[in-house]
Amino acid sequence: MTESPTPPSEPPETASLREPSLVLVNTGDGKGKSTAAFGTAMRAVARGWRVVVVQFLKSGEWSVGEEKIGRQVGIEWRALGDGFTWDSENIEESEAVAQKAWATAREKIMSGGYELVVLDEVTYPINWGWIETSEVLSTLKDRPEKVNVILTGRDASQDLIDVADTVTEMRNVKHAFDRGVMARRGIDY
């Protein structure tokens, strides 16, 4: 039998530094990167923040639950991708779509009109070289003071990790997909 840990008797050290905004990265091979970002978006809306989500893989043709409820609570939702690359009939067109999505994302960040900008699944087009890493990094560094940004996707580069204030890596311990179970409405989308 494993011994139970002792509950803490002292509070953790408290933080004393206040930053006007943060960059968060949700990465790793486990489930929950986008889900965590959308949960934070809901929290931000509840605090009166203006929030925009820019999705780099999902298109407006996809019917996803988080978009439906997000729009209902006032999140501006931009599903600007064109789907999975393995379904693409024209990979150069898919690259151009990703670049247009990045132009929209950059405009939203630099406008200063949002307290939170979520860049969902942005690591993929960055890693494929479709979006210049240097441009993403400079946008994050030069963003208006009150704009928080969350980036999601597998295999976040060390450069993204370095510029981020908080990085969470979701680790796949076990996934239903591994035994052939299809994605489930309400759980996965």
Does this model's pTM top 0.85?
yes
Q: What is the pLDDT of residue 60?
A: 67
The parts of the chain modelled with pLDDT lower than 50 are none
Domains recognised in the chain with CATH numbers? 23-171 (3.40.50.300)
* pLDDT of res. 15: 78
**Closest C-alpha to 28, from 174, 124, 169:** 169
- Give the model confidence (pLDDT) of 120-145 as tens digits: 999 999 999 999 999 999 999 999 99
**Alpha helices per DSSP H over the chain:** 33-46, 65-72, 91-111, 123-127, 133-142, 158-163
Distance CA 90, CA 167 (A): 33
Site of tokens 């298109």: 59
Contact 51, 45 (CB under 8 A): yes
57: closest CA among 149, 123, 121, 129?
Answer: 121
Give CA–CA dist 40/149, Å, rounded: 11
